[in-house]
Chain A
């Protein structure tokens, strides 16, 4: 079975500072990895995904993530955050090719302080 851990439930950061949101997973098989963002009163939006190839993945809104197989991690980073980045961020892993195989992490609430 797969599982996802997001170690930080809340991350406050000042505007224009860098941020890293941590995601670790466990799985006995190869997985595919995703980061989603959820703004208040909205659904989820895909930020980026890792299926194969380069371990550094670039997504929308200036975010990027690096897949580290040996550390089973997929941390999300942004070099300079904006107020509009305040949202809930979910890491997800998938060990198959269908949505019922997707396991979501508990989420990290990012608060950008002006």
Chain B
């Protein structure tokens, strides 16, 4: 069974631009969560989507948004990029959320110049 895939693996953007990251979950998984990982703040939860609906949301500004498609694939968008948005963005999928094990993708490394 294929794992969680994220594209692209690396991105370089400049301040003020916007970016879209993509995540394909494991087949059959309906829950997709996004996390931001930085050296200073560590791992922080962004949001979770389940059956095309945002189910939970972390404490991030509205510049961070996401969506989920009918095939469970998910995208995350960051508008008006700031230097502080440079991070590793991780996507994780699970069967249905809750205490079901999450399987993480390798992440997208975003650098904002």
Contact = CB atoms under 8 A, between A and B. Distances in A.
Interface stretch (B14-22, B62-70, B71-79, B93-101): B93-101
A43 B99 contact: no
A102 B42 CA distance: 13
A97 B45 contact: no
Contact of A41 (B4, B33, B57, B106): B106
B43 interface: yes
Given A41-B106, A43-B4, A43-B90, A100 B45 contact: yes
Given A32-B99, A44-B90, A97-B98, A102 B104 contact: no
B92 A43 contact: yes
Contacts of A105: 42
Interface in A74-103: 90, 97-100, 102
B45 A102 contact: yes
A107 B40 CA distance: 11
Contacts of A28: none
B101 A46 contact: yes
B101 A99 contact: no
Interface of A: 32, 41-46, 49, 51, 90, 97-100, 102, 104-107
Interface of B: 4, 33, 42-45, 47-48, 55-58, 90-92, 97-99, 101-102, 104-107
Given A43-B92, A49-B101, A100-B47, 4 more contacts: A42-B106, A43-B104, A90-B43, A99-B56
